Amino acid sequence: MKPDSPILVTGATGYVGGRLVPQLLAAGHRVRAMGRSVEKLSGRPWATDPGVELVRGDTLDRVSLTSAASGCRAAYYLVHSMIAQKGRYAEADRISARNMAGAAAEAGLNQIIYLSGLGDPNDPAVSRHLSSRYEVEDILRAGPVPTTVLRAAMILGAGSASFEMLRYLVERLPVMITPRWVDTPCQPISITSVLHYLNGCLDLPAAMGQTFDIGDEEILSYRQLIDIYAREAGLRRRRIFSVPVLTPRLSAYWIHLVTPVPAAIAQPLAQGLAVPVVCRDHRIRGLLPHRAPSARDTIRLALRRQRRDAVETCWSDAGCLLPPEWAVCGDAEWAGGTIHRCGYRVRLRAEAEAVWAPVVRIGGGSGYYFADGLWYLRGLIDRLAGGVGLRRGRRHPVVLRVGDALDFWRVLALVPPRRLRLLAEMKTPGPAVLEFRIADQGDGVTELTLLSHFEPRGLWGLIYWYSLYPFHELIFYGMLKAIARRIGAPVVAGPRRFTPRLPTACQLP
């Protein structure tokens, strides 16, 4: 394979992959970034770099994966099905790993680099999550392409799931009743160190076919991390009482309620903390010397980035962008099922850019401009039902990208300053979409339209839609009026309800 052949990065929209791509580009490599949605990939800051090629691919689809790997010289395997597949992630990861090993062999890759989990595979208390990671290692190593495995424990950095879990627990709970794992030794690693090792192992002969433990130098308990965070955040020291009755499952549900990290992610994280996760092999430090930051420095930097809204990637970036067909193809009836709609519009004496400004800032700290208490209640109900709730917020208060998580929505389409389409990720009996449209009417008048689309599943779906319909009317009317007040634009007409026109052909937003 030619030395200037591209590097395939799977999981390029994830927390680690999204940060790895620009570093590979800075090092002079060509990169082929793979994801299930090219639209989501195209929203990344590095997507327009001349050294990047965006490709659609799914590790569960052998054909698309082989096509993505063709012509590459190496691949980073940064895919994990924990969010997308939830309880079925082990089987999904098994299939994906087999596909990766086969695609790499068929494409003639020189190397696969896999980011795995740290721990003792022979520990009888090892979590199901870590067992799945080790199985993926075995599958990749069994293939003909040399695989470099990097085993990491808790990854700390602005936007990581581990950091967000720590941040919310410490900031919200001055007193904590915790499981005994709060005192289990752990060797966390900063995202800076993870990227250093991922970069350094590429094309390194001594790393081919090897497995390395990676971690920063300090071995700490979660209790100590809580104390460090509290000091760096300027908070009083938290009082912690550990008890033997809290299982990892109960801990995960508590984390789910208190932090934005859902139970599907919190449970494997909590299970991982129940057993010691400490580096037993330090060879990587000799191969790739690195001045690792202390946990205190890592947390300080993460807090600084959080406060400056300079978070490059977030754990929630890894969510799927797989909308129902009707949400992409103009809601045509042939796309399946009956689509229920509710629409309101208002005409304002303002330019489109002025109307767009509050629309693109919606959610997170800005709220929804009207009836925020009802939005909060809906988020709380969703959280109690096991959904994502409102606590995810948004990665940046002003900037949105396709695929971004936004409270309990995900950005499905973004056409500034004309359209914002949000796909619901809260618990609902059917897929739902919320859409903002902005159209220039001439003579300095702009029309702002707010639409909701819902495909009910069964009787409960119909009951859900019609029971919420009066609230939709109240909230939509109020939101449009509030946006007009926010930008100081005189209302020319409306807000008033209308029946959305049904498109007859597939049309992308």
Tokens (6 digits) for 466: 């019609």
Residue 504 lies in a domain: no
Q: What is the pLDDT of residue 502?
A: 53
Q: What is the pLDDT of residue 192?
A: 96
Q: Dihedral, CA atoms, 198, 316, 133, 275, nearest 10 degrees?
A: 100
Range of the domain at 143: 1-152
Between CA 435 and CA 426 the distance in angstroms is 16
| Cβ atoms within 10 Å of 17's Cβ, excluding its own | 25
| Structure letter (DSSP) for residue 220 | B
Co-location of 347 and 302 in the same domain: no
Side chain identity at residue 392, one-letter code: R
Co-location of 488 and 344 in the same domain: yes
DSSP states of 364-409: GGGTTSS-HHHHHHHHHHHHHTTS--STT-BS-SS---TT-EETTE
Alpha-helical segments (H) within 143-190 = 161-172
- Say which residues have a Cβ less than 8 Å from residue 234's Cβ, sequence separation at least 6: none
User: Is the Cβ–Cβ distance between 449 and 436 less than 8 Å?
Assistant: yes
Between CA 107 and CA 105 the distance in angstroms is 5
CATH assignment of the domain containing 66: 3.40.50.720
Which candidate, 117, 155, 114, 159, places its Cα nearest to that of 134? Answer: 117
Residue 17 lies in a domain: yes
> Which phi and psi angles does 208 have, rounded to 5°?
-65, 125
Between CA 272 and CA 165 the distance in angstroms is 14
Side chain identity at residue 233, one-letter code: A
One digit per residue, pLDDT tens: the chain, 509 residues? 677 899 999 999 899 999 999 999 999 999 999 998 888 899 899 999 999 999 999 999 999 999 999 999 999 999 986 555 455 778 889 999 999 999 999 999 999 999 999 988 777 777 788 888 999 999 999 999 999 999 999 999 999 988 988 998 999 899 988 888 789 899 999 999 999 999 999 999 999 999 999 999 999 999 999 999 999 999 999 999 888 766 666 777 778 788 887 777 777 767 667 788 899 999 999 999 999 999 999 999 999 998 888 888 888 877 666 666 666 554 444 344 578 889 999 999 999 999 999 999 999 989 999 999 999 999 999 988 888 888 888 888 999 998 898 999 999 999 999 999 999 999 999 999 999 999 999 999 999 999 999 989 889 999 999 998 888 889 999 999 999 999 999 999 989 999 876 544 444 34
**What does DSSP say about strands 491-498 and 239-242: parallel, antiparallel, or unpaired?**
unpaired
Co-location of 226 and 134 in the same domain: no
pTM value surpassing 0.95? no
User: Is the Cβ–Cβ distance between 15 and 161 less than 8 Å?
Assistant: yes
Residue 208 lies in a domain: no
| Cβ atoms within 10 Å of 237's Cβ, excluding its own | 10
Q: What is the pLDDT of residue 334?
A: 38
Co-location of 471 and 424 in the same domain: yes
Q: What is the pLDDT of residue 82?
A: 59
> Which phi and psi angles does 294 have, rounded to 5°?
-75, 160
Residue 41 lies in a domain: yes
Co-location of 371 and 248 in the same domain: no
Q: How many domains does the chain have?
A: 3
Q: What is the pLDDT of residue 230?
A: 96
Tokens (6 digits) for 331: 């809601």
| Structure letter (DSSP) for residue 237 | P
CATH assignment of the domain containing 481: 3.30.530.20
Co-location of 133 and 162 in the same domain: no
Q: What is the pLDDT of residue 119?
A: 83
Residue 198 lies in a domain: no
Between CA 38 and CA 59 the distance in angstroms is 15
Q: What is the pLDDT of residue 221?
A: 93
Residue 197 lies in a domain: no
Among positive and negative, which fits the CA dihedral 350, 353, 354, 359?
positive
Which candidate, 299, 173, 162, 167, places its Cα nearest to that of 239? Answer: 173
Which string of b and e fits 135-157 if b means at least 16 CB within 10 Å? Answer: ebbebbbebebbbbbbbbbbbbb
User: Is the Cβ–Cβ distance between 127 and 276 less than 8 Å?
Assistant: no
**Strands of 419-424's sheet, edge to edge?**
405-406, 409-415, 419-424, 432-442, 445-454, 340-349, 491-498
Co-location of 141 and 172 in the same domain: no
- Say which residues have a Cβ less than 8 Å from residue 395's Cβ, sequence separation at least 6: 159, 311, 313, 314, 316, 317, 401, 404, 405
Between CA 290 and CA 509 the distance in angstroms is 47
Residue 195 lies in a domain: no
**Which residues share a beta bridge with 297?**
none
Between CA 223 and CA 257 the distance in angstroms is 20
Backbone Cα Rg of the chain? 24
Q: What is the pLDDT of residue 379?
A: 92
CATH assignment of the domain containing 270: 3.90.25
User: Is the Cβ–Cβ distance between 473 and 325 less than 8 Å?
Assistant: no
Residue 210 lies in a domain: no
Co-location of 339 and 412 in the same domain: yes
Which string of b and e fits 463-495 if b means at least 16 CB within 10 Å? Answer: ebbeebeeebeebbbbbbbebbebbebeebebb
Tokens (6 digits) for 493: 């007409």
